[in-house]
Chains A and B, each alone.
Chain A
Amino acid sequence: MTQTDDTLVTVALHSVAHGRAGDKGNRLNVSVMPYDPAAYAVLAEQLTEERVLALYVHRGATSVKRYALPLLPAFNFVIEDVLEGGVNGSLNLDGHGKSNSFILLGMQVRVPEKFVRAANPAR
């Protein structure tokens, strides 16, 4: 079977976008940028505040606010109460939540195959 570029595939967000997490107190922000700016619209449909919150509720998250930056293009998610006390109070090995960008990058998304970035072969 041959696939066209617009065939929808289900993949981890990690193969479509990159991002970074930062902390302030008990609040985490996670940025997400598609590798291909053209993927922004399809990600805007799927990376809803509700779906992102669901990924972090086991960490105590209470709400998510999404900021859209269509010119970059990028999203910034601000996740409240997710750090179980923050860098100073948490018993988590990663009290900063620095590794938590990869929780969001593990989300399953359904996107046209042309937006999927395969890993480069090891050098």
Chain B
Amino acid sequence: MANVFRVGNCAGFSGDRVDAPGPVVDTLIELGGPCAVFFETLGERTVALAQLEKRRDPQRGYEPMLERLLEPILLRCARHGIPIIGNFGAANPPGAARVIAMLALRLGLPGLKIGVVYGDDVRERLDLKTHEVYEADTGLDMGGGEVVSANAYLSAKPMVDALKAGAQVVVTGRTGDPSLALAPLIHHFGWRYDDWARLATGATAGHLLECGAQITGGYFYDPGYKDIPDPANIGFPIAEVDADGRLVITKAARTGGLVNVQVVKEQLLYEIHDPACYITPDVTLDFSQVTIHEIGKDRVEVRGVRGGPAPQKIKATVCFDGGWMGEGEISYAGPNCLARARAAAEVLLQRLKLRKLAVEARVDLIGIASVHDGDGSARWRTYDGGEAQDIRVRLAVSARTQDDADQAAREALALYCCGPAGGGGVRWRTTQRIRTQSYLMLPGDLAPGCSVQSAAEIAA
């Protein structure tokens, strides 16, 4: 492949392995040639959790692992001209830029150019009464909670503008996830914003890479059926794209995991609805004619992606205060543990009624039926698969107030002395909940942009 640009992924979600970026950057430097890396650390509701954190402390609200993720690679990326792009700004891109600026000063990089993308926060611009609700969300009950955050999925353009202005690190909040990888490709190749075929290749590279190890064997690994080498040391992915839009997926050198046809298929369809119409802010993707080819060890080529015009409307996700969840767990093991666990489950549900707690509840019997069960717990109630050896009873409740959630969860704690026999290992906790609903906005509703400053200027 001539005139190749490489894009490496260094994180696929908030909580990803902090030692993943090093081998990706090492590999890009060894291979030489133009390249960039990106971090995708912002899930559908991570931005709301970040917004809540920012309320508690206005300096925070960005990716909590930001410094740990960037410190091992920032100096090398700056020296080798590798731009770093990330939505690790979350609810506070300027706050993230300050952290990066301080890190840069500490590493002797006062001139590091940091770009901040703004305009995704649309709380002042979105009208819940008049903007259209995104179709997948029309059945959700919002419970009338207060709005915590509202963020539009920005396109690649403000990131491209930041790169054009010389940014070596680009910090964003909410953007289309594939746009994070597409932006450096548009910048490098000078693609037009209506060159749908080439934009489609770049956005597909982003779609395939944005979940990190999900395309290098991590989430793919199914022992005995889909084995992978060295699963504790999975390498993160690298896409190679050329000027004509040829796309090859590979991964960091000297790492575990694999890139083969099967794993690329799984990730191609991940979180996709109609494969002929996958909408990103930059281009609409059509995967219906895609074929996938192994062209070498850990090298897979993706052919036949087609692109159509970007959507007329822009998706914005609103997060509402969703009250509280309380959870309490207790374990039963050994003889008659199934009967003891079932009895504990019934006692917990009776206790919530006796105490007239304003909660909705569900009980799981982990080890019998839990994650595949429904809220009615039909699976463990009707289970007749014989005696079990080790079961964990889990009570989960939703409540308007933290106190109600806590009181309900503590009913699991009370089983220590109140029985049934032999219960142990209680844990209980409460978690603030966020509900999301997406809306559609018009391009004219938004005013995205970017600012680029040196680390020294930002830290001043």
Pair from one complex: yes
Q: How far is the CA of A19 from the CA of B140 in the complex (A)?
A: 27
The interface residues of chain A lying within 8 Å CB-to-CB of B220 are: 18, 20
Complex: chain A residue closest to B395, CB-CB: A91
Quick one: which of B417-459 are within 8 Å of A by CB? 433-438
Q: State whether the Cβ of A59 lies closer than 8 Å to any Cβ in chain B.
A: yes
**Pair B375/A20 contact, Cβ less than 8 Å:** no
Residues of chain B lying within 8 A (CB to CB) of residue A59:
374
Judge if B222 is at the interface, Cβ distance under 8 Å.
yes
* 1/0 contact string of B7-47 vs chain A (CB within 8 Å): 00000000000000000000000000000000000001100
Please tell me if the beta carbons of A25 and B436 are within 8 angstroms of each other in the complex. Answer: yes
Contact of B224 among A26, A67, A74, A119 (CB under 8 A): A119
CB nearest to B211 among chain A residues: A22
Are the CB atoms of B372 and A103 closer together than 8 Å?
yes
A-facing mask of B221-256, CB < 8 A → 1, else 0?
A: 011111100000000000000000000000000000
The contact of B290 among A29, A72, A102, A121, by CB within 8 Å, is A72
B225 close to A20 (CB less than 8 A): no
Tell whether, in the assembled complex, residue A69 and residue B288 are in contact, meaning their CB atoms are under 8 Å apart.
yes
Q: Find the B residue at minimum CB distance from A119.
A: B224
B275 at interface, CB cutoff 8 A: yes
Contact of B272 among A76, A93, A120, A123 (CB under 8 A): A76
Q: Number of contact residues on A: which range applies?
A: 35 or more
Is the C-beta of B159 less than 8 angstroms from some C-beta in chain A? no
**Contact status B273-A24, CB under 8 Å:** yes
- B141→A85 contact, CB < 8 A: yes
Is the Cβ of A58 less than 8 Å from the Cβ of B378? yes
Interface residues on B, range: 35 or more
Residues of A within 8 A of B276 (CB): 67
Contacts of A29 in B (CB 8 A): 269, 271-273
Interface string of A71-91 (1 = CB under 8 A from B): 110101010110011111101
A108 contacts chain B at the CB level, 8 A cutoff: no
| Per-position binary interface string of chain B over residues 270-298, scored 1 when its CB falls under 8 Å from any chain A CB and 0 otherwise | 11111110000000000111111000000
Q: How far is the CB of A42 from chain B (nearest CB, A)?
A: 19
Q: Are A117 and B225 in contact (CB under 8 A)?
A: yes
In contact, A14 and B225 (Cβ under 8 angstroms) = yes
Counting chain B CB atoms within 10 Å of each CB, the highest count among A59, A81, A102 belongs to A59
Contact A88 B137 (CB under 8 A): no
CB distance from B143 to the nearest CB of A (A): 8
Q: Say yes or no: A23-B269 contact (C-beta < 8 A), given A71-B289, A122-B224.
A: no
Does B195 sit at the interface, judged by CB under 8 A?
no
**Which residue of B134, B224, B262, B436 is within 8 Å of A120 (Cβ)?**
B224
Q: Is the CB of A72 within 8 A of B292?
A: yes
Contact of B435 (CB < 8 Å), options: A22, A78, A88: A88
The 5 closest A-B pairs by CB, nearest first: A119-B224, A22-B271, A31-B269, A94-B371, A91-B362
Residue pairs across A and B with Cβ atoms less than 8 A apart, 25 shown, are A15-B225, A20-B214, A22-B270, A25-B136, A25-B137, A26-B140, A27-B136, A35-B262, A69-B287, A72-B291, A72-B292, A74-B269, A81-B139, A84-B374, A84-B375, A87-B45, A88-B434, A88-B435, A91-B360, A91-B361, A91-B396, A91-B398, A92-B375, A92-B396, A94-B371
Extra pairs beyond A18-B262, A33-B266, A119-B223 (19, CB < 8 Å): A20-B266, A20-B267, A22-B269, A22-B270, A22-B272, A23-B271, A25-B436, A25-B438, A26-B136, A26-B137, A29-B272, A72-B292, A76-B273, A80-B139, A85-B140, A89-B140, A89-B433, A91-B398, A122-B223
